[in-house]
Structure 1
C-alpha cells in the first residue's frame, strides 16, 4: 500500500477492551498491560475502532486527547453517541452536573432519565458538551463518525425523521452515522425514503449483518448515503439476540466462518466503491471472535489493516 494514500477501507472491532477478550484470551501480549499499551497494540494491527464506553458515560476532552496521543496518525475512532442523545434510558449519575440540575422535579429521583424529560436548554447543553468533548479527535483528523444507534421504539415516524435531520445541525462538525433497530425503517416500502432522508441530511447509513425475523431486525442492505460508509457485523446468534439478562458478550457470541467472510468481501468492496471511506466493525464481542474475524476479513480484502500488523 502506498503510505501516502489514505486507505478507502478500514477494518476493526466494536471495542478493544471487552472483558472476555482481556480475561479469557491471550490476544494481547500480556494480561497486565496498561490501558495505553493495549490501545497502542490494537492500533498496530487495525486502522479503526469503535468506542462503546461513550454510550454509557459522555466522553471528556482529556480522554479524547489521550486517544489521539496513543494511536498512529492514520487511525480512526468511531464514537457511539451518549445514550441520552439516542433516546435510550440514561443513568442520572452519568449526566453532567449542571444538566442533571435541570431535570424537572417530576422526574427527579427516577432510575432513568430520557431526553424528552429535559427542557430545551438542557438538551442544547447536552449536545454541545458532547460536541466539545470530541473536538480533540476531530482536530487531529482521527474522528471517523459519531454512531447514533437508536432503540427499537425509534420507529419510522415523522417526529423521528425530524430528529434525524436535526442531528446534522447540532453536530455539524462531525460525520454522523445512523443505525436502526426497527425494521420499519428498511422494509421494502420505506427503505428508499429512509436512504434518501439520510443522504439529503449528510448522514451515513450503517449497514448491518444481524439475526433476521425479529421486529428489531434490519435487513442486510448495503448502502452508502454519505462520504463515509459503515458496516457493523453483529453475527447470527438468534437464540440470544433479544434475550434479557445476559451480557453483551453472550448476545453477540458468534464466530463468522471463512465462507461467510468470503461472501462479505465483494459486498464490502461494492460499498467502498460508493464512498470516500468505508469502516467495517465486528461487534461479535465474545473472547477473541471479533479481532479474529476482523483480521481475516482485512486479509481477504488485502486492505483495511495496518501495513505491518503486530504478530
Structure 2
C-alpha cells in the first residue's frame, strides 16, 4: 500500500503569504519553507515553469526541509511547448530562441534541459525530488505530432521521474483514454489526474489512471467557471467543500493501492484556500498511509 502525501502547489504564492497563514518571524524565505515543511510533506515548485532554476536554490530547499520531504518540480515552459519570453532565458540563449521561432531549434531545447536538470541535481541527490511535472498547453491535442513531441520530451528526461498533465481534454475523453494510458505507461511517466470545473468546453475530465508503479499525482485547480479567463486569482478562486473533497478520497486510496506514493496537490491559490483544502483532505483520508508532517 503506497504512501499518500498531501500539500499545495506553492508555498511562496503572494496570496498565501499575505493571508497571514505564516506566523510572525517566519515570513522570510527560509522561515516560510521551514514552516510549510512542518505542516506538509510535499510541495510543488512552480517558479521553475517561469524561469530556469538555480543550483543554489536547490541546495537551500534541500537544507530547509526534513529528510523524506518531496518537491514536485514543474518543467520550464520552453520544454513543454509553451510560449516563453526571451527574458526568461539566460542572455546567452536568447539568440537561439529567436532562431527557434523561425524554424531552427539549433540545440536550444537540449541546452535548456541540461541547465534545468543540472540545477535540480541537489534535490535528486538528497532524495527530495518527487517528480518533474510536464504540464502541456491546451493546443497539444492527441495525434501523431503530439505523441512524437511527448517521446522527445521523455528521451530528453531519460532517467528522471516524470509526470504529465494534459490541458487538452481529448486525451481523457472516452475513446482515447486507453491509448493515453498505454502511451504514458510505455514512456514510464505518471499521469496527472485533475480536478477542475466541468462546465467548460476546455474542461479536462477527472480521469484517474495509474501509469507508473512509483508515483501517482492529483492536482486540484478549483472549480471556478472563470477558468481560462480573467486574472489568476479569478481563475483559481475556489474554496473546496467537504463533499467535493470527499468525492476524491476513495479514488486517492485506490491510487495508493497501485503506486508507491500518491501526491495530492492543491492549486486553488487564493489566500489560504489551498492550505485549508489540503488540511481538510488529509483529515478526510485519515489513515496510517497518509504521511504526517515532521
Shorter-chain TM range is: over 0.9
| Structure 2 CA distance for aligned equivalents of residues 117 and 48 of structure 1 | 39
> Number of residue pairs matched?
291
Change (3 A) 1:203 1:162: same
Where 2:233 maps in the other structure, the secondary structure is helix
What residue in structure 2 maps to residue 22 of structure 1? 17
Confirm or deny that 1:228 pairs with 2:215: yes
How far off is 1:236 after superposition? 0.8
Confirm or deny that 1:133 pairs with 2:119: yes
Where 1:208 maps in the other structure, the secondary structure is strand
Q: Quick check: 2:2–2:258 contact (8 Å CA) kept in 1?
A: no
Gap regions ≥5 residues in structure 2: none
Confirm or deny that 1:69 pairs with 2:53: no
Q: Quick check: 1:209–1:232 contact (8 Å CA) kept in 2?
A: yes
Q: Quick check: 1:147–1:178 contact (8 Å CA) kept in 2?
A: yes
Q: Which of 33, 53, 59 is matched with 1:39 structurally?
A: 33
Q: Which of 92, 105, 124 is matched with 2:86 structurally?
A: 92
Where 2:71 maps in the other structure, the secondary structure is strand
Q: TM-score, normalised by structure 2?
A: 0.94
Structure 1 residues 39-74: Cα deviation after superposition (integer angstroms, max 9, x where no partner): 000000101000111111110111111100010011
Q: Which of 48, 56, 60 is matched with 2:54 structurally?
A: 60
Structure 1 residues 257-290: Cα deviation after superposition (integer angstroms, max 9, x where no partner): 1122222111110111111111000011010110
Structure 1 residues 162-209: Cα deviation after superposition (integer angstroms, max 9, x where no partner): 111222221123111110111121110111001100000001100001
Structure 1 residues 113-162: Cα deviation after superposition (integer angstroms, max 9, x where no partner): x6x85524122111111111111100111111111111111111211111
Gap regions ≥5 residues in structure 1: 1-5, 108-113
What residue in structure 2 maps to residue 276 of structure 1? 260
Structure 1 residues 15-47: Cα deviation after superposition (integer angstroms, max 9, x where no partner): 011111111x22111277210100000000101
What residue in structure 2 maps to residue 258 of structure 1? 242
How far off is 1:304 after superposition? 3.5
How far off is 1:222 after superposition? 1.1
Change (3 A) 1:192 1:17: same
Q: Quick check: 2:26–2:32 contact (8 Å CA) kept in 1?
A: no
How far off is 1:307 after superposition? 4.4
Change (3 A) 1:42 1:144: same
Q: Quick check: 1:103–1:117 contact (8 Å CA) kept in 2?
A: no
What residue in structure 2 maps to residue 8 of structure 1? 3
Query: What pairs up with 1:101-120 in 2 under 5 angstroms?
Result: 101-104=95-98, 117-120=103-106
Q: Quick check: 1:295–1:305 contact (8 Å CA) kept in 2?
A: no
What residue in structure 1 maps to residue 164 of structure 2? 178
Confirm or deny that 1:290 pairs with 2:274: yes
| Structure 2 CA distance for aligned equivalents of residues 171 and 133 of structure 1 | 14
What residue in structure 1 maps to residue 148 of structure 2? 162
Where 2:216 maps in the other structure, the secondary structure is strand
Q: Quick check: 2:6–2:263 contact (8 Å CA) kept in 1?
A: yes
Q: Quick check: 2:25–2:31 contact (8 Å CA) kept in 1?
A: no
Change (3 A) 1:79 1:260: same
